[in-house]
Amino acid sequence: MSKLYDVIIIGAGPAGLAAGLYAARAKMSALIIEKDRNGGQIVTTDEVANYPGGVEEETGPSLIARMVAQTEEFGAERVKATVVDVNLEGDIKVVKCEEAEYQARAVIIATGASPRKLGCPGEQELTGKGVSYCATCDADFFTDFEVFAIGGGDTAVEEAMFLTKFARKVTLVHRRGELRAAKSIQEKAFKNEKIEIIWNSEVAEVKGDGMVESIVLRNRETGELTEHHAHEDDGTMGVFVFVGYIPQTGLFTDKIELDKAGYILTDVDMKTNVEGVYAAGDVRQKTLRQVVTAVADGAIAAVQAEKYIDNKFH
């Protein structure tokens, strides 16, 4: 018979790791399941300047490394596996992975969100060949090249500024006539001599033979198409896409209550509409998706799971 855990945590981003830390520290048997690398989106972040108490020159990977060490110190188990199905009904929850099946009294869903795609011709074919969704991962490849950054929110503008550390020119393309980013962030961008902004435009196509060679923009007011080619001395350029995220909740459709955008609905205690099931981090409906709110969600979810288990099973 397989081991019965107190709590299974699906996802090892900041929310999942914080949940594992709090669960294990409360002497619960906790298993963290992650299909990819630990840390989620934050490990692609070059600088974490706004995490309270963060060390000087904190990076996403350095912060996550300390979180992982803490979960191990308190005894949380971790396994790398892909969850293919879940049964969240009843007292014993079942999490099915490709090669094994795990059982627990409670489940915390911390599967996060993934970058939203543009959906234009050429995007998929040229992903990893000039099209990127992670400035920290790929900016270095475009040192002294020209790049386009697509989007107008906080992330898009912040990443555009980060790209100026490498690229000789960054063109920010936004589909509206004004940015959605915080005013303080906008001011920095407007002052950056390397940043040019193209307003009221969207990407119609990304072109290239084996690598990005041009980008076609459509003016949303006039419908006019403009093709921007890589400089002939460069031969290529970068297209960095920052247009939001999609919650990773496909596994939980029809099994848990989601909002119209696919985010999990919870109360302030991270409880979903299914008893013994909690959600934490970017995967749940919330107004601020940051590391600081993710770890708070994870801590709350673990504490509530502990109370649930104590009341129901002990």
Which residue's entry shows tokens 């960095």? 240
Asked whether the beta carbons of 28 and 6 are under 8 A apart, the reply is yes
Q: What percent of the chain has pLDDT over 90?
A: 82
- Distance separating alpha carbons of residues 283 and 265, to the nearest angstrom: 9
Per-residue pLDDT, 56: 80
Asked whether the beta carbons of 108 and 278 are under 8 A apart, the reply is yes
Global pTM value: 0.77
Alpha helices in 36-177 (DSSP H): 60-74, 135-138, 154-163
- Which is the catalytic residue, given 97, 134, 154, 234? 134
- Distance separating alpha carbons of residues 243 and 172, to the nearest angstrom: 12
User: How confident is the model over 81-94, as pLDDT tens digits?
Assistant: 999 999 999 999 99
Q: Which of 3-7, 37-41, 71-75 has the lowest mean pLDDT?
A: 37-41
Residue 296 scores a pLDDT above 90 = yes
Residue 309 scores a pLDDT above 70 = yes
- Which is the catalytic residue, given 85, 137, 140, 267? 137
The answer to whether 97 is a known catalytic residue is no
Per-residue pLDDT, 54: 80
User: How confident is the model over 18-58, as pLDDT tens digits?
Assistant: 999 999 999 999 999 999 888 887 776 666 777 888 888 88
Q: What percent of the chain has pLDDT over 70?
A: 98
> What contacts 205, CB < 8 A, 6 or more positions away?
120, 121, 122, 215, 216
- Which is the catalytic residue, given 6, 120, 138, 282? 138
Asked whether the beta carbons of 214 and 208 are under 8 A apart, the reply is yes
Per-residue pLDDT, 45: 65
Q: Which of 140-149, 178-187, 197-206, 285-294 has the lowest mean pLDDT?
A: 285-294
Average pLDDT over every residue of 216-245: 96
Taking residue 298's Cβ as centre, other Cβ atoms within 10 Å add up to 30
End-to-end CA distance of the chain: 21
The answer to whether 234 is a known catalytic residue is no
Residue 95: pLDDT band (50, 70, 90) is: very high
Residue 293: which H helix or E strand, with range?
helix 291-313
| Structural domains of the chain sorted by starting position, each given as residue range(s) with its CATH number in brackets | 4-115+245-313 (3.50.50.60), 131-241 (3.50.50.60)
User: How confident is the model over 123-154, as pLDDT tens digits?
Assistant: 999 998 999 998 877 899 999 999 999 999 98
